[in-house]
């Protein structure tokens, strides 16, 4: 009775839990990256993204006491406020980096040599000294403040439009689009014709060609990089967009032909035979019948090829170049990480810009993915 058709497996709940965990494993970090891309650098350093929507304790940069000195009751006094923004509220403060939270607002710190410092909750301070402080270095205050949630678009403005070299990825974004779109369309066009021929046209050596396509699937592209670059230099292409388009086309064709051929073989034979009886040529059958019916397979390969070319670094470095006007997003992000590793807000915004387009492509076409990949696997 356990094998009755239609009865759900006993471990269905385990499958559902596993799926939910996998979804959370990808969604939570992506959402965290999105939130971080709108935060300021100080907030990113001081707290995690999950605390971005509430008031949080933030360690401010050290502030050196400054102001006009006056005499009162035989002592030298300097009064003022640590902040230009009077809305800042201090929760703890200190005069040493070793103990930045040693005092509460309103406490008086003994600095030695007859000096005392009092800091209030709103940042107002009073520094008293038995001797004049003119010409001497005044103490610093390490303040911890309660900061409200703060979000900004300045990170994206810097990343996309900054005139400073090494910060803006706007040109790299356009370079990546210039590489990825043709490198996705060209293999699909070529592979569709080849797949139709291997699926429905009889000619000598067809089986050997299918076997060769399958064999090329396991060849590492790293083996072909240098010979292919030498070939490009020999025929006069060199490094440029044409060279990288052809390289991505060559590396993507085996998988494209394999997927599309398996899908086209599974199409109803009666439709094609009836079209031939009605006088349709192979080209007319391909354009008017095969292509519309093969859209799921075309979409599934387009997703894989676009994601591959968009996230590629190795092929772009070999066939395109490393100058600022030739770099793709992956190369630009590597340089950004190396030269500005402390600017986490810029890195977060840059990283989200780099994954935004692939996310849009995947979610807009993912309904065709499973249909295209499973095509031809079951008869």
- Same domain as 363, residue 334: yes
C-alpha angle 66-70-75 in degrees, rounded to nearest 5: 105
pLDDT tier, 342 (very low <50, low <70, confident <90, very high otherwise)? low
Decide if 272 contacts 343 (C-beta within 8 A): no
The answer to whether the CB of 191 falls within 8 A of the CB of 262 is no
pLDDT digits (tens, 9 = 90+) for 287-309: 888 888 888 888 888 888 998 99
Q: Please give the tally of structural domains in the chain.
A: 3
User: pTM for this one?
Assistant: 0.70
Whether residue 325 is predicted with pLDDT greater than 60 in this model: the reply is yes
For residue 284, give the CATH number of its domain.
Answer: 1.10.3720.10
- In the block, tokens 């590489």 appear at 179
Per-residue pLDDT tens over the stretch 205-222: 888 988 888 888 888 888
Residues 185, 361: Cα–Cα separation, whole Å: 14
Looking at per-residue pLDDT, the higher value among 60 and 131 belongs to 131
Residues 258 and 294 in one domain: yes
Lowest mean pLDDT among 112-126, 142-156, 281-295: 142-156
The answer to whether 178 touches 351, Cβ cutoff 8 Å, is no
**Last-in-domain residue among 93, 119, 147:** 147
What range defines the domain where residue 75 resides? 57-147
What is the pLDDT, as a whole number, of residue 377? 45
* pLDDT higher than 90, residue 173: no
Any domain includes 4: no
* Residue whose structure tokens are 């210039």: 178
* Residues 170 and 212 reside in one and the same domain: yes
| CA distance linking residue 80 with residue 97, whole number of Å | 22
DSSP code per residue over 194-250 = HHHHHHH---TTHHHHHHHHHHHTTS-GGGTHHHHHHHHHHHT--SSHHHHHHHHHH
172 lies in the same domain as 211: yes
- Co-location of 23 and 138 in the same domain: no
Separation between Cα atoms, residue 183 and residue 244, nearest integer Å: 8
User: Is residue 188 very low, low, confident or very high in pLDDT (cuts 50, 70, 90)?
Assistant: very high
Radius of gyration of the chain (CA): 32
Asked if the model's pLDDT at residue 272 lies above 90, the reply is: no
Confidence of residue 166 (pLDDT cuts 50, 70, 90): low
The helix/strand/coil state of 264 is helix
**Whether residues 26 and 165 fall in one domain:** no
On whether the CB atoms of residues 155 and 38 are closer than 8 A, the answer is: yes
Measured between alpha carbons, how far is 67 from 225 in angstroms, rounded to an integer? 65
Could you give the percent of the chain with pLDDT greater than 90? 11
User: Can you tell me the mean pLDDT for 147-173?
Assistant: 76
pLDDT band at 111 (very low <50, low <70, confident <90, very high): confident
Which one has a higher pLDDT value, 123 or 59? 123
């Amino acid at each position: 009775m356990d094998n009755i058709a239609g009865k759900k497996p006993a471990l269905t709940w385990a499958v559902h839990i596993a799926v939910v965990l996998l979804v959370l494993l990808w969604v939570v970090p992506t959402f965290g990256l999105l939130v971080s891309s709108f935060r300021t650098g100080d907030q990113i350093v001081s707290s995690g993204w999950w605390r971005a929507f509430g008031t949080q304790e933030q360690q401010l940069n050290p502030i050196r006491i400054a102001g006009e000195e006056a005499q009162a009751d035989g002592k030298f006094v300097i009064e003022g406020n640590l902040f230009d923004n009077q809305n800042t509220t201090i929760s703890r403060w200190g005069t040493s980096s070793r103990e930045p939270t040693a005092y509460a607002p309103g406490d008086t710190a003994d600095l030695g040599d007859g000096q005392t410092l009092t800091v209030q909750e709103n940042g107002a301070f009073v520094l008293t000294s038995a001797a004049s402080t003119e010409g001497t270095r005044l103490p610093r205050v390490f303040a911890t403040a309660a900061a409200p949630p703060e979000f900004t678009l300045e990170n994206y403005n810097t990343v996309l439009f900054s005139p400073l070299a090494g910060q803006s990825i706007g040109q790299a974004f356009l370079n990546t689009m210039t590489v990825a779109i043709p490198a996705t369309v060209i293999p699909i066009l070529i592979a569709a014709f080849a797949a139709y021929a291997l699926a429905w046209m009889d000619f000598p050596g067809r089986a050997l060609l299918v076997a060769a396509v399958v064999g090329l699937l396991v060849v590492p592209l790293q083996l072909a990089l240098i010979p292919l670059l030498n070939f490009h230099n020999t025929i006069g292409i060199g490094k440029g967009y044409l060279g990288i388009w052809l390289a991505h086309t060559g590396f993507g064709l085996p998988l494209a032909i394999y997927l599309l051929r398996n899908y086209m073989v599974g199409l109803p034979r009666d439709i094609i035979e009836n079209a031939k009886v009605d006088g349709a040529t192979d080209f007319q059958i391909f354009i008017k019948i095969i292509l519309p019916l093969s859209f799921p397979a075309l979409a599934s390969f387009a997703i894989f090829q676009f994601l591959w070319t968009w996230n590629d670094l190795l092929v772009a470095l070999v066939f395109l170049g490393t100058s600022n006007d030739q770099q793709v997003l992956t190369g630009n992000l590597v340089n950004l990480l190396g030269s500005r590793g402390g600017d986490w807000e810029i890195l977060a915004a840059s990283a989200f810009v780099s994954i935004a387009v692939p996310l849009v492509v995947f979610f807009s076409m993912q309904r065709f993915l499973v249909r295209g990949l499973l095509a031809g696997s079951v008869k």
